[in-house]
Structure 1
Amino acid sequence: MTIRVWDYLQEYENERADLLDAVDSVFRSGQLVFGASMRSFEEEFAAYHGSGHCVSVDNGTNAVKLGLQALGVGPGDEVVTVSNTAAPTVLAIDAVGARPVFVDVDPDSYLMDTAQVAAAITDRTRALLPVHLYGQCVDLAPLERLAADHGLKLLEDCAQAHGARRHGRVAGSTGDAAAFSFYPTKVLGAYGDGGAVLTSADDTAARLRRLRYYGMEERYYVVETPGHNSRLDELQAEILRRKLRRLDDYVAARRAVAERYAEGLGDTDLVLPGVVDGNEHVYYVYVVRHPRRDAILEALGTHGIALNISYPWPVHTMSGFAHLGYAKGSLPVTEELAGQIFSLPMYPSLTPEVQDRVIAAVREVLLKV
């Protein structure tokens, strides 16, 4: 049996009755878009975060894109973010016509080095876009101060941090808006694509609702401003409603897996994830670090363990973003991490038996590479 870095099949068996009931309830409702399930999910997801509004969309990339647009970011603007993130974060900036400006990351947490942000701000900067990476939160306090001092917008990328908290405050509840992905692998994952934007500003929420629906109000056919077709369908909304009730259970299970890894690998030379003081990590992925990463992955493959790298190529090194002009070595910590990090299997239904097999294989491989 090949052990994969993520698997949903056991979780599906555990939740099958509820998920099939969700499907049946939607198909019997007579409405497949803009129905009761979508509105209920939006209300419940907003309430979980203490936010005034949740505007659901079709995927996480469009959540970032529409979030930027709703905050007034557009052509000629600059957005400060990081390069060690999934490419969609940066693609969304590009999609609204803005220019991504990268800062490096902290070598211990792998999160945005907020001390570098002030120097990256210019008179063209419009927004700050921190990424709550791998399951824990960026310290937003210095970014809030910078945003206030320079008249900037703060958009949180929460795609990897459902339920994560910093000093008790849940990810997505601090900035002017927050973008979420519900891609199946996420801590709160759909059975397909999905996304959402949270905001407590009424005007931002109204713009988001128009932007996701061609630029129209939901029940009219008059375009007020050019928008998109970015709706979350009823089926995914109802599935997410059911799974939202179990979000805290998913997080607890992930933390138990992380604790077992720490117990089983803590005495090796593998660098395990660190938790920033004040953070409550949700372990979207369990990212470890070793200078002989590639040899380790090759050896683990012979044990039937297929792992993942998040992310092997920083965005600023990709050919599609060569026009930004970032030379090799411009983000040294980000580039060093990209050559050393990889992810161990992490999902709520990962059994102790399978995890023990992973731990034993990793320990064996580390003695040989």
Structure 2
Amino acid sequence: MTKPNAVPMNDLKRLYQRYEVKIAREIARTLQSGWWLNGATGKRFAANFAKFAGVSDCILVANGTDALELALRSAVGLNDARGREVIMAANAGGYASCACWHNDLIPHYIDIEPASQLVSIQSVLDAVSTDTAAIVVTHLYGGAVDVRAIRAELINAGMSHIPVIEDCAQAHGARIRGEMAGSLGDIATFSFYPTKNLGAMGDGGAVLTSDSRLAERVRQLHQYGWSSKYHVSLPRGRNSRMDELQAAILDVLLPHLDSRNEQRRAILDRFKAATGRRLKFLDGGDGAVAHLAVLLCDDRDTFRTFMKERGIDTDVHYPVLDCDQPGWVDLPMKGTHNLAISRASIGRLCSVPCHPDMTNDEIVQVCKALGEWEAM
């Protein structure tokens, strides 16, 4: 039998090759400027990304985890929130949890919806209390959580003061009822890790908001807490900057984000058409951007072997809940006993390749393998 061609989870060389001429030109222009940090290129991309997302301010930082930490620190205040709770899902890779502990806050984990694996709005509302310092809503796998509904319920409950932080690291360009992820909460964070829907060729992140007070606080905190050069006015600042080369690359790719997201959605739709009985792909809503093609499978190990034999890479996003990580077991946390759906899902999740630089032959190869599994 002829060995099938390999279908990788991703192949970033293809992305570079598609936009090589434009990227090379912008990198050369940036290097020739002699200004490689905090320059005009970064300011231009920040302005363009803020406009794309529908907010007034975008502050570029070193990575998505820094973005979460700085956004959380800015939203809850610097001193009086220590020891209070932050409501979040436990299935999103640990990034919000890290940001929480780094700010001396306590993660309060809540459960998710089975069909989307996104946070359950009812679970958010059930967990809110006078101890709640903030809510982190993760738009996981490219799906979009209804942040407006959460905000409306908080207002009804007399809890409108609680800030809502959107973690959009997997949701660049995602929308819900026409509104863009990143514009729905009080403050939002993005990662530009290379495999994201909008990815750099290195690392980078951003904090977005339309609250001028929060924007100014993040601007200070991401550079040592300075109010002006060498003058510190806020404690617990840090050095977290995106370099100009990454901003140049992202500014080249940004105009193509919506069309590339459409390609992702079209690929996932083809996968869904080949499945439905034994394999259930997650549904992140009409405005989802298919950051990952994640399915639920009752016999994941056998399925992964089956796909590997057919030359198709798979992965698991994510194999361990935050609250079950061995290295974090002694850290403060709440809500660990109310995660029935999260725990039932964790052993069934599996991702298959889905990115806009896949060839049609590769898509057909994945569809065929999925169909063969369904027919068994």
Deviation at 1:270, TM superposition (A): 1.0
Deviations 1:139-166, CA, capped at 9 Å, x for gaps: 1133213444222011011111110100
Q: Percent identity?
A: 33
- CA distance in structure 1 between the partners assigned to 2:99 and 2:212 by the alignment: 23
- CA distance in structure 2 between the partners assigned to 1:330 and 1:27 by the alignment: 52
Equivalent residue for 2:68, pick from 41, 54, 64: 64
Q: Which residue of 1 aligns with 2:50?
A: 46
For residue 204 of structure 1, what is the amino acid of its counterpart?
L
Contact 2:170 2:196 in 1 (8 A): yes
Change (3 A) 1:96 1:326: closer
Deviation at 1:253, TM superposition (A): 1.1
Change (3 A) 1:76 1:327: closer
Contact 1:45 1:244 in 2 (8 A): yes
Q: Note the aligned Cα RMSD (angstroms).
A: 1.7
Q: Which residue of 1 aligns with 2:37?
A: 33
Aligned residues: 364
Please, what TM-score do these two structures have when normalized by structure 2? 0.93
SS in 2 for 1:256: helix
- CA distance in structure 1 between the partners assigned to 2:336 and 2:32 by the alignment: 56
Contact 1:128 1:147 in 2 (8 A): no
Q: Which residue of 2 aligns with 1:340?
A: 348
SS in 2 for 1:71: helix
Change (3 A) 1:275 1:80: closer
Deviations 1:240-295, CA, capped at 9 Å, x for gaps: 111111111111111121122123x135421123243xx31100001111101111
Contact 1:329 1:335 in 2 (8 A): no
Q: Which residue of 2 aligns with 1:351?
A: 359
Equivalent residue for 2:205, pick from 195, 218, 227: 195
Change (3 A) 1:2 1:88: same
Q: Which residue of 2 aligns with 1:20?
A: 24
For residue 258 of structure 2, what is the amino acid of its counterpart?
D
SS in 2 for 1:229: coil
Q: Which residue of 1 aligns with 2:240?
A: 230
Q: Which residue of 2 aligns with 1:144?
A: 151
Q: Which residue of 2 aligns with 1:295?
A: 302
Deviation at 1:326, TM superposition (A): 6.3
Contact 2:225 2:232 in 1 (8 A): yes
Asked if 1:274 corresponds to 2:278, the answer is no
SS in 1 for 2:69: helix
SS in 1 for 2:164: strand
**Alignment of structure 1 residues 171-320 onto 2, 5 Å:** 171-217=181-227, 220-226=229-235, 227-263=237-273, 265-266=274-275, 268-276=277-285, 279-320=286-327
For residue 122 of structure 1, what is the amino acid of its counterpart?
S
Unaligned runs of 5+ in 1: none
Please, what TM-score do these two structures have when normalized by structure 1? 0.94
- CA distance in structure 2 between the partners assigned to 1:4 and 1:92 by the alignment: 31
Deviations 1:28-51, CA, capped at 9 Å, x for gaps: 011010000110111111111120
- CA distance in structure 2 between the partners assigned to 1:145 and 1:238 by the alignment: 38
For residue 39 of structure 1, what is the amino acid of its counterpart?
K
SS in 1 for 2:280: coil
Asked if 1:8 corresponds to 2:17, the answer is no
Q: Which residue of 2 aligns with 1:79?
A: 86
